[in-house]
């Protein structure tokens, strides 16, 4: 079962990455480059803010995963520039790094977790943002997105109008929802109930990064202030670990 889940996620992310590349090539070929001020309508601006808040969340995971700050910076820049194409490529690459044993036990966990190479790596990553700091950051981002959404509805009206859907807005929507798919896989992994997972994913689809930030803050509330914020990546049965524990110790406890 675990192997099938890993293969399904890896395959779907590979397909979605290829789809996004095709969408980008087609949109550039038919509508030109996106660097034009007339494309930046109010709803496009709202969508871009929504998109980049989710990118920031995925980027935070990438920074946690990478042992080199240079490589982390490179991947974050690629995320900013190429969005879900980078998300899909990075996730698929993490799956290919798994050993046969990791793939057979819990591939999603081992894709999420950072493989520490030394005690120094463990110490450095325990110095990341605290639980309280992370809660403040994601709360601010969530309220920023909520305010942006309400303001855009008030000044620009409903988004459900055909004239709004220019080729580049459609391409950005596809880009946005591929990242939402990646976040939905994580939510499904996290939730113990398929009903709660379905509800959260439905809210992700409808409200985007507002739901992302709400879900992250909710997960952070389940941690003590002594624990590292990155433990929200994993299922709740890892929550009794101390902040000094490394992700590999988490893996041992999980087994």
* pLDDT tens per residue, range 120-158: 544 455 556 889 999 999 999 999 999 999 999 999 999
Q: What is the pLDDT of residue 132?
A: 94
Domain count, the chain: 1
Counting as low any pLDDT under 50, the low residues of the chain are 118-119, 121-123, 238-255
Sign of CA pseudo-dihedral 149, 151, 152, 156: positive
Q: What is the pLDDT of residue 127?
A: 57
- Average pLDDT of every residue of the chain: 89
Q: What is the pLDDT of residue 1?
A: 78
What is the span of the domain harbouring residue 242? Answer: 2-254
Q: What is the pLDDT of residue 246?
A: 43
For the entire predicted model, the pTM comes to 0.89
Q: How many CB atoms lie within 10 A of CB 242?
A: 11
Q: What is the pLDDT of residue 237?
A: 59
């Amino acid at each position: 079962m675990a192997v099938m889940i890993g293969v399904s996620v890896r395959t779907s992310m590979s397909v979605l990455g290829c789809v996004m590349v095709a969408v980008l090539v087609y949109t550039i070929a038919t509508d030109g480059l996106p660097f034009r001020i007339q494309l930046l309508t109010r709803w496009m601006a709202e969508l871009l803010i929504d998109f980049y808040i989710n990118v920031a969340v995925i980027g935070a995971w990438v920074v946690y995963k990478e042992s080199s700050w240079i490589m982390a910076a490179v991947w974050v820049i690629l995320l900013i520039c190429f969005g879900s194409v980078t998300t899909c490529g990075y996730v698929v690459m993490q799956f290919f790094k798994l050993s046969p044993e990791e793939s057979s036990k819990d591939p999603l966990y081992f894709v999420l977790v950072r493989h520490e190479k030394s005690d120094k790596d463990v110490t450095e990553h325990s110095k990341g943002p605290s639980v309280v700091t992370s809660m403040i950051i994601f709360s601010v981002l969530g309220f920023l997105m909520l305010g942006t959404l309400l303001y855009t509805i008030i000044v620009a009206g409903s988004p459900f109008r055909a004239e709004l859907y220019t080729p580049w807005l459609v391409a950005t929507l596809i880009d946005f929802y591929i990242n939402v798919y990646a976040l939905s896989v994580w939510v499904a992994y996290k939730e113990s109930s398929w009903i709660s997972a379905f509800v959260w994913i439905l809210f992700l689809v409808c409200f985007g990064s507002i739901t992302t930030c709400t879900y992250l803050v909710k997960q952070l509330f389940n941690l003590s202030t002594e624990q590292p914020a990155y433990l929200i990546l994993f299922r709740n049965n890892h929550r009794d670990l101390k902040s000094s524990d490394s992700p590999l110790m988490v893996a041992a406890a999980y087994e």
